Structure 1
Amino acid sequence: MQIIGLGTDIVEVKRIEILAQKPGALSRLFTQHELDYSLARKNKYEHLAARFAAKEAVFKALPFAEIAFKNIQVSNLENGCPQVTVADERAKDLMILISLTHTKEYALATAVVQK
């Protein structure tokens, strides 16, 4: 496989916490699956921030520019490892690797796109 894209992003957790106070803001950015997972966690804003950073990192790494954030979904495998699904025909032959991390203040994600 050949690497065709690399993206990284860092997000302040507080930014997502403030965003969450605006009606409908989270549902415009996150899938229901992402919201269900993150909002059930003790540190929900850290988890949302990590997913937001992941979406930004994937967006930056993809070889095509136009894609809605809700078409990029971050979930976890049974072992806890994050995975990304892109709901776009142009991504069908791509493999996307993702790494997430977060603290109380920041969330960081890196994405590698392979073909």
Structure 2
Amino acid sequence: MIILGHGIDLVEVSALRRWIEDPRDPLLPRCFTAEELAEIGGGPNRIERLAGRFAAKEAVLKALGTGFGAGVAFKDVVVRRKPGGPPDVVLSGGAALAAKGLGITCWRLSISHAGGMAIASAIALADPAQTDLSSTGPK
């Protein structure tokens, strides 16, 4: 596999909590799909899990080089995790188009939170059989 991009993001959990609780800006329905919210669940660590997922979405878009806006929405990046498995990235819309244009075929994602902070690292990978090694982009 060939690394085509890397993104990292750090989120202050208390800042995300204030943003979520602000009635003027409904972050949860704008940023997370119903499936993501169901998977994140409730409980005392919910805000940390939300912060980690938010950081992961930001890290993915940094790896893509797009950021949010310009045809890429928060919900275009879905972060999910099967029990006992690593987090996974599923793209749609503008994010999927950007990934396809770059030749990205898979992702490696890591999420962690401690000390009131959440961090995520996303690595965008390409299959070398479908990438022209003589240039900086895919075939």
* Same structural fold, with TM-score higher than 0.5 when normalized by the shorter chain: yes
1:3–1:77 Cα change, 3 Å: same
Give the equivalent residue in structure 2 for 1:6: 6
Counterpart amino acid of 1:70?
K
Give the equivalent residue in structure 2 for 1:113: 124
> Could you say what secondary structure the match of 1:7 adopts?
strand
Give the equivalent residue in structure 2 for 1:91: 99
> Could you say what secondary structure the match of 2:123 adopts?
strand
Counterpart amino acid of 1:105?
G
Hey, what's the Cα distance between the residues in 2 that align with 1:101 and 1:41? 17
1:81 paired with 2:83, answer no
Unaligned runs of 5+ in 2: 127-139
Contact kept in structure 1, 2:9 and 2:58, CA below 8 Å? yes
Report sequence identity in percent: 38
Contact kept in structure 2, 1:20 and 1:26, CA below 8 Å? yes
1:103 paired with 2:111, answer no
Contact kept in structure 2, 1:82 and 1:98, CA below 8 Å? yes
Give the equivalent residue in structure 1 for 2:130: none
Counterpart amino acid of 2:22?
K
Hey, what's the Cα distance between the residues in 2 that align with 1:104 and 1:36? 25
Give the equivalent residue in structure 1 for 2:18: 18
Moved more, 87-96 or 29-38: 87-96
Give the equivalent residue in structure 1 for 2:136: none
Shift of 1:40: 2.2
Bigger RCO (CA 8 Å, 6+ sep): 1
Moved more, 33-42 or 3-12: 33-42
Contact kept in structure 1, 2:14 and 2:116, CA below 8 Å? yes
1:58–1:75 Cα change, 3 Å: same
Unaligned runs of 5+ in 1: none
Hey, what's the Cα distance between the residues in 1 that align with 2:88 and 2:10? 18
Normalization by structure 1: what TM-score? 0.88
Counterpart amino acid of 1:40?
G
Counterpart amino acid of 1:4?
L
